[in-house]
Amino acid sequence: MIETAHLGGRSFHPKAWHIQGEDFGVAFVGSSNLSRSALHDGVEWNLRVDRHRDRAAWDRVASSYERLWASARVIDGDWIAAYAARVRSHPRPLPPGEVGEQAAATLPEPTGLQREALDALAASRAENRTRALVVMATGLGKTVLAALDIVSVASGSLGAPSLLWIAHRRELLEQAATTLRRGRPDCTAPAEA
């Protein structure tokens, strides 16, 4: 994992695939977040470029990527320790609009896609599997799905699970904690690094 520093504090969130060979080249860049920073001053890209169809666009994507990569810093133990110290010494409130109030006091009923994932997770546990991975696109309810699964596991014979929730932004952790408390009001407040 790397951090790009030259953007002057602007949010930078794209995920990119840059694939090329002798006679082809294609790049996919996408992020599609609907957060305050994404809509106002962050960098959010959604693009597909074929080298043979639009060489100018291809060159811009490639040069932008190379410029970002050259300015990137590896996120290692020292970076994490410095980040944790910085957050503790200079806490900042979230910008207005980043975390909306939760209108509902309980978790919603799962959508069809969430129900399918919950059933697959339950089947994995029934087969004594101890690990699972659920991949869903932005906006399809991963946080709610996780809360529904945690509530289900906590109410079963396994008892309340220990939980480590990792996110790259504080507001995502706060949203997750709020969502989880809708199903488990007894959950303790999250700890921050």
Distance of alpha carbon 173 from alpha carbon 169, whole angstroms: 7
Name the residue among 142, 72, 135, 148 with its Cα closest to residue 109: 148
Which pair of tokens denotes residue 95?
Answer: 């910008």
Write down the pLDDT at residue 70: 81
The pLDDT assigned to 102 comes to 46
The answer to whether residues 160 and 88 touch, using CB atoms and an 8 Å cutoff, is no
For residues 85 and 121, membership in a common domain is answered with no
Chain segment 132-141, per-residue pLDDT in tens: 888 888 788 8
Listed residues 41, 74, 89: the one ending a domain? 89
User: Do 85 and 117 belong to one domain?
Assistant: no
Select from 60, 4, 53, 61 the least CA-distant residue to 28.
Answer: 61
Residues 6, 81: one domain?
yes
73 and 151 part of one domain: no
* Position 150 in a domain: yes
pLDDT of residue 63: 87
What pLDDT does residue 159 have?
Answer: 62
**Is residue 153 situated within a structural domain?**
yes
Q: What are phi and psi of 3, to 5 degrees?
A: -120, 135
Task: Kindly give, in sequence order, each residue whose CB lies less than 8 Å from that of residue 173, ignoring residues fewer than 6 positions away.
Answer: 165, 167, 190, 192
One domain for residues 131 and 173: yes
In the chain, what are the helix, strand and coil shares in percent, each to the nearest 5? Answer: 40, 15, 45
Where the chain has pLDDT below 70, the residues are 1-14, 31-38, 43-45, 94-104, 156-161, 186-193
* Number of domains observed in the structure of the chain: 2
Does the residue 69 lie in any domain? yes
Instruction: Judge if 21 and 79 occupy the same domain.
Output: yes
DSSP-derived secondary structure letter, 29: E
- Does 85 share its domain with 138? no
Let me know whether 21 and 67 are in one domain.
yes
Q: Quick check: is 64 in a domain?
A: yes
Q: Kindly report whether the global pTM for this prediction surpasses the value 0.75.
A: no
pLDDT recorded at residue 68: 77
Residues 62 and 123 occupy one common structural domain: no
Inter-CA distances, 90 with 9, 84, 86, Å: 15, 10, 6
Quote the domain boundaries for residue 159: 112-183
Does the residue 133 lie in any domain?
yes
In single-letter form, the type of residue at position 9 comes to G
Whether 10 is covered by a domain: the verdict is: yes
Q: What is the pLDDT of residue 122?
A: 92
Q: Does a structural domain hold residue 96?
A: no
Q: What are phi and psi of 50, to 5 degrees?
A: -105, 125
Q: Are residues 129 and 160 in the same domain?
A: yes
Residue 152 within a domain:
yes
The pLDDT, as a whole number, for residue 153 is 84
| Residue where one domain finishes, among candidates 53, 74, 89 | 89
